[in-house]
Amino acid sequence: IVLHFPGRGPMAGDYRGRDGMAQLFQKQVEMLDGPPEIEIHDVLASDDHAVVLNRVRATKGGQTSEQQQVVVMHIEGGKITETWLQFSDQQALDEFASS
> Are the beta carbons of 39 and 16 closer than 8 angstroms?
no
Pairwise CA distance, residues 47 & 28, whole Å: 31
Say what the pTM is: 0.92
Each residue of 63-85: b (16+ CB within 10 Å) or e?
eebebebebebeeeeeeeebbeb
Give the pLDDT score at 24. Answer: 95
Give the pLDDT score at 88. Answer: 98
Reading the chain (99 residues) residue by residue, the pLDDT tens digits are 999 999 999 999 999 999 999 999 999 999 999 999 999 999 999 999 999 999 999 999 999 999 999 999 999 999 999 999 999 999 999 999 998
